[in-house]
Amino acid sequence: MESLWELVSSKSWGTVFKKDPKYNIFGLAQCYQDVNADDCELCFKTSQEKLQQCIPARSGRVYLDQCFHRFDHYNFYNEGVDPKYDHVTCGSPTGDSNDTYMSQDFQSKLDHVILNVEEAALRKNGYGTTEVKGGVVTVYALAQCWKTIDKQACDKCLTDAGMRLRECGPAAEGRALFTGCYMRYSTNRFFDHGSGTVEKKGFTDWVTLGVALSGATFLLLAVIGAFVSYKKLSRTKEEVTGLDALPATGLKNSLNFKYEMLEKATKNFNESMKLGQGGAGSVFKGVLPNAEAVAVKRLFFNTRQWVDQFFNEVNLISGIQHKNLVRLLGCSIEGPESLLVYEYVPNRSLDQILFSKDKRYILSWSQRFNIICGTAEGLAYLHGGSGVKILHRDIKASNILLDEHLSPKIADFGLARCVASDKSHVSTAIAGTLGYMAPEYLVRGQLTEKADVYGFGVLVLEIATGRKNSVFSEGSSSILYSVWKQYKADHITQSIDPGLEGKFEEREASNVLLVGLLCTQPSVAIRPSMHDVLQMLTNAHCEIPCPKQPPFLNASVLSPAHTPDDSFAMDSSALDQPKTGSESSTHKAIGH
């Protein structure tokens, strides 16, 4: 055991083999990658004590939330899965499991976070953590393969563990205890990106018992961990990018920037130049040799998914110009990573001002109204003003940039889709941000311009109330429903941001809130077009229809074929803060 601990203490994992007169004994043990040395030692000693419960069994496994420990009578080092012993444990349901929308919200985030953590672990030598924010809760996940298994075994283990773990929804947490890997998700943050783990209140552990073995076996316990080579998540730069990949759009010369110039313009992508970060990449301020300020979007990955989004964004918006759309200046695709270059918008994104905790500067009602109208103009142009119908799919406050005059510009077209004018809708994989997604799109994957209208309606209510739809304290309702309740009580303007101290025009504010409710009606037929929305906002003589349905609470949006257990793949995450709460320590022994 001394030699084993020396291995674990020096590199966080180790293996031991001993030839016994009766049995060959193999053992391994490993601390997870985010665990510091002190916690690793504590977990190792705890696992020793737990594993003694398996004696005189011929094999035993201990799963802790910071380490894993196993011994057996045969060489199992490259085993990834074993249906006989692999299992999942699920916690208690979330507090919103009885609410259809909240259940779907959680299930889709769970599906997304598991997919992300699988990919993260395969990119990072068998260990990954990730989180998906937005909606009612944030979901966190961790995955760890053992150091002794190869990349195929790790991939197989993570895939199977993820499939089983998805079945835990709507449980607030779950663990997959597999032969070659460990995976966990929770609505409470339980890991740390640096050294050391957040969870300090004791170990959650599982002991798996084997069949008879000699009593001396416990001396050969070993701590195991994870090894895996990178999965082929991304092709080489030559395979998936390059000027030859651009369609014949005439963009090759007019829009191409040299990578070295942009690298220098952003001071080698220095953090001091960073403007923000989204689901697809980071954005930096750059200053070109001619002193022109630009915004440079640096994509995170060179996978096929991100490349497709990159060229999608270039091809969709390079040919359109409108005062309320961020202008694409060019791109760089010949360097080590893909870059997009936009006009620089000095006041950054709307969410950074609207939801700022610093109340020294509050947008006036006039400024808010102009932002709402300008965004409506930009969307109306996308939906047909340019001669083609472009659906944005991710309208939200963080994708509305504000110029020096606080005029809005719609940004981030990575998820946008061009739709033929003669098609009523297109069916597509769900992508966007929970809280802004229309029910028919979320449930059936049916995409029309009315999905953008719904997102715009949520945005309108956020601007008017000063509250973020994806962030609300436990026990309170969403802003959509709270505005609806005020509307039904004939006090709709009481929903206006109290920070304005009553400094707004009552009729105009009432009309804005009514438009917001109308745009978020569950029934697609009731929602107006963006052209009609613009008329309602800017034409005093335009009559605004009365909203008829409470937002997202009409069961007709759910087809009979869909139930609250349906999950939906997501392509981008919302912005939210994690729920807090303590986790209790539990112990479970499983015989086999």
Annotation says 39 is catalytic? no
Residues of the chain with CATH 1.10.510.10: 352-557
Give the per-residue pLDDT at 485: 93
Q: Specify the DSSP element, H or E, that contains 207.
A: strand 205-209
What letter represents residue 283's amino acid? V
Residues of the chain with CATH 3.30.200.20: 237-343
Comparing CA positions, the residue from 313, 310, 356 lying closest to residue 333 is 310
Residues of the chain with CATH 3.30.430.20: 1-232
Give the per-residue pLDDT at 135: 56
Give the per-residue pLDDT at 179: 93
Q: Higher confidence at residue 478 or residue 206?
A: 478
What's the pLDDT tens digit per position in 16-72?
888 777 778 788 889 998 888 888 888 888 887 787 777 778 788 988 888 998 888
Please state which of the four CATH numbers 1.10.510.10, 3.40.190.10, 3.30.70.920, 1.20.1440.120 is assigned to the domain occupying 352-557: 1.10.510.10
What's the pLDDT tens digit per position in 491-533?
999 999 999 999 999 999 999 999 999 999 998 989 999 999 9
Q: Which one is catalytic: 394, 412, 497, 532? A: 394
What's the pLDDT tens digit per position in 339-370?
889 999 999 899 999 988 877 678 999 999 99
Strand, coil or helix: 297: strand
What letter represents residue 255's amino acid? L
User: Domain 1-232 carries which CATH code?
Assistant: 3.30.430.20
Strands (E), 123-235: 127-132, 139-145, 173-177, 181-186, 205-209, 222-224
Cross-strand bridge partners of residue 238: none
Comparing CA positions, the residue from 571, 562, 139, 134 lying closest to residue 393 is 571
Distance from C-alpha of 80 to C-alpha of 159, rounded to nearest angstrom: 11
Q: Quote the tokens at residue 445.
A: 């994957």
Return the CATH class of domain 237-343. Answer: alpha beta
| CA-based R_g, the chain, Å | 27
Provide mean pLDDT across the span 293-322.
Answer: 69
Within 8 A by CB and 6+ apart from 565, the residues are: 103, 107, 169
